Amino acid sequence: MVVPTFIQLMLLPWFPESPRYLLIEKHNVHASITALKWYRTKCNIQAEIKEMQEEQSSLSSVEMLSVWKLLRDDSVRWQVLSVMVINVGMQLSGIDAIWFYTNDIFENAGIPAPEIPYTTAGTGVIEIIAGLIGCFSIERLGRRPLMIGGFAMMGICSAGITGALILQVHLSFMRYVSVGCVVGIIAGFSGVPFLITAELFKQSHRPAAYIVGGSLNWMSNFTVGFVFPFLQMSAGSYCYLLFSSICFSVAIYVYFVIPETKNKTFMEISQMFSKKEAVTETQGLILGDQLKLKKMNGYGGLEHASLELESSSSAP
C-alpha cells in the first residue's frame, strides 16, 4: 500500500489543474486551453471552451455555496437528493461488505481454505476489468444505463448469494454459484457514481456537493463495516436480501429521477432539474387548489343544506 501511494504522490505535481477550475475560478484562459489540450489530444476543444465561458458568465454574480446553503437551496433540491441516494446506495449495496469480509463469505460458501486467497485475488482482477470496461463504455452507453444496470445486477447477485447459501446444503455446486454472484456484485460496480456528482452541479455548488456526497459515502462505509458481522450473525444467509432491496431501490430512483447527462452541458443539466422542480411545484399548487375547491364545495353544501332546513322549518 505504501509504494503505490508514494508513486501517486510523486506524480501529482506533473498533472495539470482542472481546465474548468482554471477558467471559471482563476480566469486564466490560456492555462485552461493548455490543460484541455493535454487532456484532449485529438479533439476539438473550442466547443468545450465556449461552454465553460457560458457557465463562467452565468456564475459571475454568484458566490460559492457552503454546505448549509446548498442544503437550503431549493433550486438544487433534486440534485442534492440524488447525490445522497447514489452515495449512500453505493456503500449500502453490499460491495464493501464483500470486500471487508471476502474470506468469511467464501468460507461460508464452502470454498476450501487453500483456494480462498486465489479466489479473492481473482475478484480483485475482475473489479479492475469492470472498471476499465466502464471507462471505455461510459461515453458510448451513457451514465444512466450503467448506473441502472449496475445496481440492478448487484441486486440480483445479492439475492443470488442468499439462494446459493441456502441451497448449497443440498446441492454442492451452489458454492460456485455464490462465488459467481460475488463476482457479479463486484463487476456491477462501474464507478459512475463517483463521476455523477461533478456533472449534476455548477461550479458554485460543486465543492459543497462533494463534501455532502463524500461524508455520506464514508459514513455509510463505516456503518456497513461495523454492522455487517452482527447482521450476518442475526440474519444469516438472508442478510444479503437487505443489500438486494437497497440496490433495486437505487436503480428505480435513478430510472425515474436522474436524467442522462451524456453530451449535456452543466447548464442544460441544471435546466432539466429545474423543469422537474417546476413540475413538482405545479403539481403541489394544483393539488392545493383542488383541496381548497373541495373544502369550499363542502362548506357550500353545508350552507345550502342549512338554508333548506331553515326554510322547511319556517314553512307552515
The predicted structure's pLDDT at residue 61:
64
The predicted structure's pLDDT at residue 58:
72
* pLDDT tens-place string over residues 47-66: 888 888 877 777 766 677 88
The single residue listed with the C-alpha cell 463517483 is: 194
Cβ–Cβ < 8 Å for 70, 212: yes
The predicted structure's pLDDT at residue 290:
54
The predicted structure's pLDDT at residue 316:
44
The predicted structure's pLDDT at residue 295:
47
CA distance 90 to 96: 9
Packing angle between helix 266-314 and helix 46-58, nearest 10 degrees? Answer: 50
The predicted structure's pLDDT at residue 219:
93
> What's the whole-number mean pLDDT along residues 225-232?
87
More confidently predicted of 309 and 262: 262
Own/partner long-range contacts of 272-278 (Cβ < 8 Å, ≥24 apart) = 273/76, 273/78, 273/79, 273/200, 274/75, 276/78, 277/74, 277/75, 277/77, 277/78
* pLDDT tens-place string over residues 137-156: 888 888 899 899 999 999 99
CA distance 73 to 205: 10
The predicted structure's pLDDT at residue 256:
92
Cβ–Cβ < 8 Å for 209, 200: yes
More confidently predicted of 258 and 300: 258
HEC-encoded secondary structure of the chain? CHHHHHHHHHHHHHCCCCHHHHHHHCCCHHHHHHHHHHHCCCCCCHHHHHHHHHHHHHCCCCCCCCHHHHHHCHHHHHHHHHHHHHHHHHHCCCHHHHHHCHHHHHHHCCCCHHHHHHHHHHHHHHHHHHHHHHHHHHHHHCHHHHHHHHHHHHHHHHHHHHHHHHHCCCCCCHHHHHHHHHHHHHHHCCCHHHHHHHHHCCCCCHHHHHHHHHHHHHHHHHHHHHHHHHHHHHHHHHHHHHHHHHHHHHHHHHHHHCCCCCCCCHHHHHHHHHHHHHHHHHHHHHHHHHHHHHHHHHHHHHHHHHHHHHHHHHCC
Mean pLDDT of the chain: 80
Highest mean pLDDT among 14-18, 48-52, 227-231, 270-274: 227-231
* pLDDT tens-place string over residues 243-293: 999 999 999 999 999 988 887 877 788 788 777 666 554 554 454 555 454
Residue 157, CA distances (Å) to 28, 115, 122, 263 in order: 48, 22, 17, 31
* pLDDT tens-place string over residues 160-203: 988 988 888 888 788 788 888 888 888 877 677 778 888 888 87
**Percentage above 70 pLDDT, the chain:** 84
Q: How confident is the model at residue 242 (pLDDT cuts 50, 70, 90)?
A: very high
Quote the Cα angle for 101-215-227, to 5°: 30
The predicted structure's pLDDT at residue 276:
67
The predicted structure's pLDDT at residue 309:
37
The predicted structure's pLDDT at residue 129:
84
pLDDT at 5 over 80: yes
C-alpha cell at 126: 475482475
Q: How confident is the model at residue 89 (pLDDT cuts 50, 70, 90)?
A: very high
More confidently predicted of 309 and 40: 40
The predicted structure's pLDDT at residue 249:
96
> What's the whole-number mean pLDDT along residues 90-103?
81
